[in-house]
Chains A and B, each alone.
Chain A
Amino acid sequence: MTLSKVDMDELMAPFPDKVVRNRKKHIVQKDCTESCQQIEANTRTVPGIITQRGCCYAGCKGVVVGPIKDMVTITHGPIGCAYYSWGTRRNKIRADDNTPAEDLYGAMCFSTDMQESDIVFGGEKKLAKMIDEIVGIFHPRAINICATCPIGLIGDDLGAVSKAAEERHGIQVLHYDCEGYKGVSQSAGHHIANNQIMEHIIGKGTDKVDGKYLVNFLGEYNIGGDAWEIEKLLEQIGYKIVSTLTGDSAYVNIRNMHQVHLNLVQCHRSINYIADMMETKYGTPWLKVNFIGIEATIESLRDIAQCFGDKDLIKRTEFVIEKELAAVTPEIERYKKICNGKSAFAFVGGSRSHHYQYLLRDLGMDVTVAGYEFAHRDDYEGREVIPTIKSDADSRNIPELHIEADQEMYEEPHIHLKMSKEKYDELVASGKLGNYEGMYPDMVDGGIMIDDANHYETEELIEIFKPDLIFTGIKDKYISHKMGVPSKQMHSYDYSGPYTCFRGAVTFAEDVANALSTPAWKMITPPWDKADIEGGE
Chain B
Amino acid sequence: MPDSNHTSSNRTDTAKQVNENQCHMCMPLGGVIAFKGVEGSMALVHGSQGCSTYMRLTNVEHYHEPIDVASSSLNEKQTIYGGEKNLKKALDNVRRVYNPKVIGILTTCLTETMGEDLNRIIASYKAEKGEIYTDIIPVSTPSYDKSHTEGFWTATRDIIAHYARKDIAYHRKINVIVPHISTADIKAIKLILDTWGVDYTLLPDYSMTLDRPFAGKYAKIPEGGTSTADIAEMSGGLVTIQFGLTCEESISPGHYLEENFGVPLINLPLPIGIGNTDMFMDALARITGKTMPKNLGYERGWLIDAMADSHKYNASARPAIYGEPELVYAYASLCLENGSVPSVIASGSVHSRLAPALDRLLEESDCDEMPVILEGADFSMIEAAALETGANIAIGHSGGRLLTENHDIRIVRAGFPIHDREGGQRILSAGYAGTLTFLDRFTNTLLEKKHSSYRELRKQELLSKIAAVTETGFTTE
Q: Which residues of A contact B (CB under 8 A)?
A: 14-16, 19, 44-58, 74, 77-86, 88, 107-116, 118-119, 126, 129-130, 133-134, 137, 148-150, 152-154, 179-185, 393-394, 397, 455-456, 459, 474-479, 481-484, 495, 524
Contact = CB atoms under 8 A, between A and B. Distances in A.
A149 B109 contact: yes
Q: Top 3 A-B pairs ranked by shortest CB distance?
A: A55-B50, A80-B26, A48-B90
- Which of B18, B25, B29, B73 counts the most A-chain CB atoms under 10 A from its CB? B18
Contacts of B108: 149
16 contacts: A47-B86, A49-B70, A78-B26, A79-B19, A80-B54, A84-B25, A85-B54, A88-B57, A109-B20, A110-B20, A118-B144, A181-B110, A182-B75, A183-B75, A482-B214, A524-B216
A533 B96 CA distance: 43
B76 A86 contact: no
A476 B66 contact: yes
Interface stretch (B41-49, B158-166, B432-440): B41-49
- Which of B25, B56, B87 counts the most A-chain CB atoms under 10 A from its CB? B56
Contacts of A183: 75-76
B57 A181 contact: no
B452 interface: no
Given A45-B73, A54-B54, A149-B110, A479 B22 contact: no
B75 A79 contact: no
B25 A47 contact: no
B220 to A, nearest CB: 8
B76 A15 contact: no
A79 B143 contact: yes
A47 B61 contact: no
Contacts of B26: 78-81, 83
Given A79-B147, A153-B113, A483-B216, 16 more contacts: A46-B93, A51-B73, A55-B48, A80-B25, A80-B26, A83-B22, A84-B57, A88-B61, A110-B18, A119-B113, A119-B142, A180-B49, A180-B50, A185-B49, A481-B214, A482-B66
B318 interface: no
A80 B51 contact: yes
- Which of B20, B65, B70, B405 counts the most A-chain CB atoms under 10 A from its CB? B20
B68 A181 contact: no
A243 to B, nearest CB: 26
Given A51-B71, A149-B108, A475 B20 contact: no
A16 B54 contact: no
Contacts of B109: 77-78, 80, 114, 119, 148-150
Nearest to A128: B17
A88 B69 CA distance: 19
Interface in B136-188: 142-145, 147
B54 A58 contact: yes
Nearest to B56: A475
B222 to A, nearest CB: 9
B218 A479 contact: yes
Contacts of A112: 17-19
Contact of A54 (B50, B78, B214): B50
A16 B93 CA distance: 7
B451 to A, nearest CB: 26
Contacts of B67: 475
B217 interface: yes
A475 B49 CA distance: 14
B60 A180 contact: no
B307 interface: no
Interface residues of B, number: 75
B228 interface: no
A107 B405 CA distance: 11
Contacts of B64: 478
A48 B21 contact: no
Given A47-B90, A153-B114, A482-B214, A180 B51 contact: yes
Contacts of A47: 70-73, 86-87, 89-90, 93
Contacts of A55: 48-51, 53
Given A44-B75, A86-B22, A476-B66, A482 B218 contact: yes
Interface string B65-105: 11111111111111100000011011111101100000000
A88 B215 CA distance: 30
Contacts of B1: 115
B290 to A, nearest CB: 38
Contacts of B27: 80
Contacts of B311: none
B401 to A, nearest CB: 9
Given A54-B54, A180-B51, A475 B17 contact: no
A58 B51 CA distance: 10
B413 interface: no
Nearest to B15: A129
B79 A181 contact: yes
B90 A119 contact: no
A14 B53 CA distance: 23
A78 B108 CA distance: 10
Nearest to B115: A153
Nearest to A455: B68
A484 B114 contact: no
A48 B71 contact: yes
Nearest to A148: B109
A84 B75 contact: no
B19 A110 contact: yes
Nearest to A181: B48
Nearest to A119: B144
Nearest to B219: A482
B110 A109 contact: no
A95 to B, nearest CB: 15
A53 B402 CA distance: 29
Contacts of A119: 109, 113, 142, 144
B54 A81 contact: yes
Given A180-B51, A483-B218, A108 B97 contact: no
B38 to A, nearest CB: 18
A56 B76 CA distance: 11
Contacts of A148: 109
B110 A111 contact: no
B129 interface: no
B24 interface: yes
B402 A181 contact: no
Contacts of B65: 478
Nearest to B78: A181
B79 A152 contact: yes
Contacts of B90: 47-48
A83 B147 CA distance: 12
B214 A474 contact: no
A343 to B, nearest CB: 19
B212 interface: yes
Contacts of B219: 482
A476 B56 CA distance: 10
B58 interface: yes
B120 interface: no
B144 A116 contact: yes
A14 B61 contact: no
A48 B89 contact: yes
A394 to B, nearest CB: 6
Contact of A126 (B17, B20, B57): B17
B294 interface: no
A54 B49 contact: yes
B68 A50 contact: yes
Given A54-B54, A80-B51, A477-B60, A109 B21 contact: yes
B49 A53 contact: yes
A133 B16 contact: yes
